[in-house]
Amino acid sequence: MRHAQIESTSNARVKEWAGLLEKKHRDRQGKYMVEGVHLVQEALRSGADVECVAYDMARGVPAELAEDARSSSTDWIAVSAAIVSKCTEARTPQPVFAVVRKSSAKLADVLQAANGLVAVLDGVQDPGNVGTIIRAADAAGAAGVLIGRGCADIYNPKTVRSTMGSLFHLPIVEGDLTELLPQAREASAKIVSTSLQAQQNCYEADYRGATWFVFGSEGGGVSPEVEAFVDEAIIIPMPGRAESLNVAMAASVLLFEAVRQRLN
């Protein structure tokens, strides 16, 4: 554990950290912030590229992170409560945050999994939905997640919190889906999306081979540009009176139907 201490909110490093609350600064620095004991612990134990961990000097290193602090080569920095408040988004901030360098995952990292299950997001704009789908994909043992244009920033603090640490557990690749999906098809993946006009029940389709589920925006569904690459359209039967499912709920239904098939 390399130890340092910063007390002033006007410190240059603190200003850089605070800037990470905005996307333009996250993009420029290639870093993002994770807040709270659980997420910091997940980042450290999952091998994320953690630049430093900052903790409230008045409260000390949280007990849950004591072993991580002893065994980690990461910089651990004691900071004032004012710095914690300045650099975190929560109204009642937790006493620890970490600065993490963005993932360098590539499509090849996703394609290498045999019979891979992949969640593909096309214009999903709500950070909570994006984070929940990443979490569901992780729980389902997916090979990775693709984030297309128009989606919420996966490094937005709300998205990061919604993943509950799953952000660190599987490859997440950002890019143009019209360039990435053809490569999936070349690798023999079947690309599947939901549609209210589809004739095939989602429980009748076969997801035991390499299956890439495409989930569209909350308002407009899958875009025409991406729909052109879809091999199979399915519908989730809804015998109740609800008009539709939240995109994160739909994603969970399909990912775990694939899990059910693969376990049988």
Write out the DSSP string of 44-67.
Answer: HHTT--EEEEEEETTT-S-GGGHH
Measured between its terminal Cα atoms, the distance across the chain in Å is: 47
**38 neighbors 68 (Cβ within 8 angstroms):** no
pLDDT of amino acid 1: 61
pLDDT at 195: 86
The answer on pLDDT for 89 being more than 90 is no
Q: How far apart are CA 141 and CA 135, in angstroms?
A: 10
DSSP letter for 95, please. Answer: S
Q: What is the DSSP letter of 103?
A: P
Q: What is the pLDDT of residue 71?
A: 87
109: left (phi over 0), alpha (psi -120 to 50) or beta: alpha
Residues 71-86, mean pLDDT to the nearest whole number: 93
Tell me the pLDDT tens digit for each residue of 93-117. Answer: 889 999 999 999 999 999 998 789 9
Tell me the average pLDDT of the chain. 94
> Judging by beta carbons within 10 Å of its beta carbon (0-12, 13-18, 19+), is residue 63 exposed, middle or buried?
exposed
Mean pLDDT of 203-208: 96
132-187 pLDDT tens trace? 999 999 999 999 999 999 999 999 999 999 999 999 999 999 999 999 999 999 99
Average pLDDT over residues 3-29: 95
56 contact partners, CB below 8 Å, separation of at least 6? 78, 79, 80, 81, 84, 95, 96
| In 105-235, beta strands by DSSP E | 117-122, 144-147, 172-174, 190-194, 200-201, 211-216, 232-235
pLDDT score recorded for residue 62: 94
Mean pLDDT of 40-50: 95
| pLDDT surpasses 90 at 72 | no
The percent of residues above 70 in pLDDT, for the chain, comes to 99
